[in-house]
Structure 1
Amino acid sequence: MYKSYKENSELSAVEEPQILINFKTTKSKAITLTKKTYKVVSLFSGCGGLDLGFTGGFNFRDRHFEKNKFKIEFANDIDPAAELVYNSNKSFFGKHSFVKDDIKNIAINTIPDFDFLIAGFPCQPFSNAGLRKGINDERGNLFEECENLLKQALKRKNPPIGFVFENVKGILSSKMDNGTSIPDEIVKRTEKLGFKTNYKLFKTCDYGVPSNRQRLIIVGIRKDIGYFDFSLLDQVVAEYNLPNEKESPYDLYLGSALCDIPKDAPQYNDFWKYSPGGQYMVDKIGACLDGREALEKFKKRTPLHEISNTITTGRSWKNMNPKDMSERFLKIWNNPQKYRAPNFYRRFALGEINGTITASAQPENCGITHPFENRRFTIREVARIQSFPDDFTFPFKTIADAYKVIGNAVPPIFGWVIAKALTKHIDNG
């Protein structure tokens, strides 16, 4: 999925893009661009996954992800749980302000100048796991707040260079009232502002993240620099020798993610207990065949075929004895074609790449159960799967909040790859 509006047949002559500012970039100006630190405003920042990726300067397992040329100047989110985590990790982000408020309540003139706007506007209306109300959900049109900020910023003395929006795969099938998809609507509106905008769907496990998580990235760049080249993300992966599902997946397997978490890491032992019904299901499904002994072998990078021939065999409710199933699950079991037999209560094996961890962290809807211990992943294990550094802390008022903010976050390593690719694009431009 890679789309742009280079030739937009939907725009009539009357609807020619309205450029709010005439961008003029000389060769010397372009050279100056490559030497500066780019100022960033972050909206719907959550606990800071995308901000951390753009900032860089963190470690994940045995790799150091160097500082990037982006500096967060302003961050915002309405969620107090996200604010608590973000402000507890200021050493990663710098001393900029984090404003906890509804973005609709924040006066645009109080938001500083920026080169790039980054935003993961709320994804629940667009999520496959959500209600799919799309643009008709009041959260679904919050991208318009980003649009308004861009409009006003383009009138400033130092207009922005571009923006990066992130969202879930489900946004691709969310529609405006006239039938236009939300991503295409965003492209159309931002191109009228003078940006060259395109988008692409990614699997984060192709970019160094130990999670098979799909995310849509929308990038707009001012017109004189041109459409963003998404293939630059693959160049970053190759240049920095990052693990990826296609060519070097070993470090992405669940066993690799779990095998070497320091015992003194924050939230190492903290996990959210299942409800009695959920615990019953997990107990009856049973553990994956390869357990602690196999996990130890990942520290030595033992090849999968030398660990076990069942190391990639996960489990789900389908592994239960039908006699132990509730009436609901027995109905699905007896008619799999009608119900498509989804993998509820998915339990990924050590030799698999874990699936998406949702914000709700419910076992029925995501792979949140440990492969051989009958519990949820700990907060620290979920953070590993999302590629957060081990020294990034997740303080919480309720333990569900910690899972929520991690599940909502952009994996920092994926954000880092995007930032590196964006720098390459500007340097090349």
Structure 2
Amino acid sequence: MTIKVVELFAGVGGFRLGLEQAGGYDVVWSNQWEPSTKAQHANMVYKNRWPDSNHCGENIEDVIENNFDRIPDHDLLVGGFPCQDYSVATTLKNSKGLIGKKGVLWWSIEAILRRKKNKPKYLLLENVDRLLKSPSKQRGRDFAVMLSSLNNLGYAVEWRVINAAEYGMPQRRRRVFFMAYHQDTALYQRLESTVAKEDWLDSDGVFAKAFPIKELTEDMVTGILEKDLVTISNTFNLDKKLSPFQNCGLMINGEFFTTKSYPDYMGPFKTLGDVLIDSKDVPEEFFIPDTEINKPKGWKYLKGSKNEPRYNKALNYYYTYTEGSMIFPDALDNASRTIITGEGGKSPSRFKHVVEQDGRLRRLTPMELERLNTFPDNHTQHEAISDTKRAFFMGNALVVEIIEKIGAELYRNITTKTEPVLAQS
């Protein structure tokens, strides 16, 4: 049995890699478009790795608006969409649903689900974990809008915040993953029939099987979501200090159940040191000269603690700036810190990784950054793409092994529960 997949906001293909490694999935269409750049570098990587794929490098909003038939029917929709303001902007008189702000790509997902006659039966989406508590004046509103819109389209949802390092992977990267099951699926019906929702969250659900957690002991927070998205956008949790949404939970039939979970992993742990290549294979440009380490505003200064007077010219006032020190160089016997998009380039930075190898300090190479996200070696290598851009890709990417584990467990559930899928071509 093959599960047909559409991959949105594909980047350099992390979702595709994970699902292909899990087995049983076929990406029938993918889309990647970066609005802020003329050169579409991620598309170059994607097409280089999958030259025969049905890949689209155009603005997904334009495709949906003007050429919707290009998006084939599929069983599973996946994507790591940008974290933006998800407030509902308006209701269109001639539309069947609600449209958010232009350029907010959650609404591209919603539009595909709403307009597809044969709706995808499953969704697997990823975002930064602050999604569960944003924006600051309506904690949890953005996620509530998403949950309610999926409920209105006939889906149940479960979510989990997963830190890759807590399950043995070599990077501390915390992201929220959420899966949706259409009401026609056996997974939806199993979830609906589960009386004790905590059983689904800590033992029976897809996330619980793929990434085990300890038995839930904290109180469950519950609530009912408004069906009207404008009402949710305007009133949900207004002026409350805390979001109701914890790091794991589920929603079905408009009711959500959420609580705090803790990982339960006893396997091996990979470290930053495990991903390093031999120093003789590191290009000289990645080694940091002593003059760059100790100079004013250099590496040692930026990584160190600070307690110094500063002046705000715009507001015309003096203040004391304080900042704690960071481990310098980075520890090799633990998982790495989170890769950020500014990881590349020679300029000193507080947040870039620096390791000591054979008595010399250096930055991480693109291949080592790929390994921290469990990508294949040199996945992003391309003659037209710089090392700085390759580092940027990894700052935006997800951890492939997480998708592989979730994909394997989802496939097991689908195939052992005789879930219906699209007719095979």
Q: TM-score, normalised by structure 2?
A: 0.65
* Letter of the structure 2 residue corresponding to residue 83 of structure 1: N
Look up the match of 1:205.
Answer: 165
**1:273–1:78 Cα change, 3 Å:** farther
Structure 2 Cα separation of the partners of residues 262 and 222 of structure 1: 53
Match status 1:121 vs 2:76? no
Look up the match of 2:29.
Answer: 74
After superposition, residues 414-425 of structure 1 pair within 5 angstroms as 414-425=402-413
Look up the match of 1:285.
Answer: 300
**1:417–1:105 Cα change, 3 Å:** same
In structure 2, the residue corresponding to 1:166 is in which secondary structure? strand
In structure 2, the residue corresponding to 1:88 is in which secondary structure? helix
Look up the match of 2:208.
Answer: 231
**1:269–1:277 Cα change, 3 Å:** closer
**1:180–1:199 Cα change, 3 Å:** same
Identity percentage over the alignment?
22
Contact kept in structure 2, 1:271 and 1:377, CA below 8 Å: no
In structure 2, the residue corresponding to 1:375 is in which secondary structure? strand
Match status 1:39 vs 2:54? no
- How far off is 1:68 after superposition? 1.0
After superposition, residues 138-153 of structure 1 pair within 5 angstroms as 141-153=104-116
After superposition, residues 385-424 of structure 1 pair within 5 angstroms as 385-395=372-382, 396-424=384-412
**1:173–1:371 Cα change, 3 Å:** farther
Structure 1 Cα separation of the partners of residues 412 and 210 of structure 2: 9
**1:176–1:193 Cα change, 3 Å:** farther
Contact kept in structure 2, 1:187 and 1:198, CA below 8 Å: no
Structure 1 Cα separation of the partners of residues 284 and 74 of structure 2: 38
After superposition, residues 66-215 of structure 1 pair within 5 angstroms as 67-79=22-34, 80-90=40-50, 95-106=52-63, 107-123=67-83, 125=84, 135=87, 141-153=104-116, 155-156=117-118, 159-175=119-135, 180-215=140-175
- How far off is 1:269 after superposition? 3.5
Contact kept in structure 2, 1:134 and 1:174, CA below 8 Å: no
Structure 1 Cα separation of the partners of residues 337 and 264 of structure 2: 13
Contact kept in structure 2, 1:386 and 1:412, CA below 8 Å: yes
* Letter of the structure 1 residue corresponding to residue 24 of structure 2: K
Gaps of 5+ in 1: 1-35, 57-66, 126-132, 237-243, 287-314, 329-337
Q: Quick check: which one's helix share is greater?
A: 1
**1:120–1:271 Cα change, 3 Å:** farther
Q: TM-score, normalised by structure 1?
A: 0.64
Look up the match of 2:333.
Answer: 351
- How far off is 1:400 after superposition? 2.1
**1:142–1:52 Cα change, 3 Å:** same
Structure 1 Cα separation of the partners of residues 280 and 9 of structure 2: 31
Count of aligned positions: 317
- How far off is 1:86 after superposition? 1.2
Correspondent of 1:369 among 317, 330, 354: 354
Correspondent of 2:365 among 365, 378, 403: 378
- How far off is 1:234 after superposition? 2.6
Q: Choose between structure 1 and 2 for higher RCO, CA contacts under 8 A separated by at least 6 residues.
A: 1
Look up the match of 1:14.
Answer: none
* Letter of the structure 2 residue corresponding to residue 117 of structure 1: L
Contact kept in structure 2, 1:345 and 1:365, CA below 8 Å: no
Match status 1:52 vs 2:40? no
After superposition, residues 21-40 of structure 1 pair within 5 angstroms as 36-40=1-5
Q: Quick check: which one's strand share is greater?
A: 2
